[in-house]
Amino acid sequence: VICFVRCKETVNFESTAQEQPKVPASRAIKALLGNPYFWATLILWTVTCVHTTIIGTDLPYYCKYVLGNDEWYYSVIYTSEIVALIVGALLCPMLLQKFNKRNLSLAGCIVVVIAHALIMVNPMSFRWILVMTIIRSLGQAPLTSLVFGMMGDVVEYGQWKSHLRQESLIFGGGSLGFKIGTGITSAVMTAMLEGAGFLSSTAGGAVQPDSAVSMITSIFKFGPILVWIVAIIVLVFYKLDKIYPKIMADLARREAQGEV
């Protein structure tokens, strides 16, 4: 409701709408696939969802078969992660007054990698994991909450570069991409656990072989670090924030001249 009431449309092409020819699908798709920042934000969006898939799938097993308490430990750790994520997201508007989206997200990703790496200092301690999880979630918050705004910037970049405004394709393509990514993540994790001899039990009383417990531990320790390192690499090369003021100035000039 707040978003609906507060948001105002600033792009206006009514004067030229009747003159715009219908864009062929081939041109629209070519413009989308040739937009490097579409791919960058798609990867970043996927990273946040892959992380959620890894933690959501593996954490219950880690609590049960490694820490020895799947009900209390899992509930507290996962709830704390969500609460910290919400708090971090609420802080982002204030932080954006001093930092741009790329730099804030990059700093957060570095915090995520450091905090999760520190879990390995004492991976058998529930309290230690809880504290590191909260710190990790605070670091995760900027990218998780800003990636959609970054995708909005990609729309402006695409229009500036190709003279096509592609909100639907960019957000639709991003949505499809992250769904495929999370689906593949779930399939890969299932295959890894089954390959390690994981025993599924509806009653929850299965005794796991050492190989399965080792795989559960490895996924929990290294899975999140790997995906967030990918995010760091993408953000290091993400330069859209630097050229964004020029893009908006050029688009405003075009709009004043009745151009797309």
Beta carbons within 10 angstroms of residue 120's beta carbon = 12
Mean pLDDT of the 255-260 span: 82
Cβ-Cβ contacts under 8 Å for 238 (sequence gap 6 or more) = 37, 40, 102
Q: Which residue intervals of the chain are DSSP H helices? A: 2-6, 25-33, 36-62, 72-95, 101-119, 126-162, 167-195, 210-236, 240-256
Sign, CA dihedral 131-92-152-4, equals positive
The values of phi and psi at residue 212, to 5°, are -70, -45
pTM: 0.88
For residues 250 and 202, the model is more confident at 250
Mean pLDDT of the 206-231 span: 94
Give which of 5, 20, 35 is closest to 156, Cα–Cα.
Answer: 35
Query: Using an 8 Å Cβ cutoff, are 156 and 24 in contact?
Result: no
Query: Using an 8 Å Cβ cutoff, are 58 and 219 in contact?
Result: yes
Task: Report the greatest alpha carbon distance in the chain.
Answer: 71
Query: Using an 8 Å Cβ cutoff, are 39 and 174 in contact?
Result: no
Whole-number pLDDT of residue 205: 63
- 13 pLDDT above the threshold of 80: no
Whole-number pLDDT of residue 176: 82
Residue by residue, DSSP assigns 95-138 as HTTTS-HHHHHHHHHHHHHHHHHHHTTSTT-HHHHHHHHHHHHH
Whole-number pLDDT of residue 16: 47
- 54 pLDDT above the threshold of 60: yes
- 186 pLDDT above the threshold of 80: yes
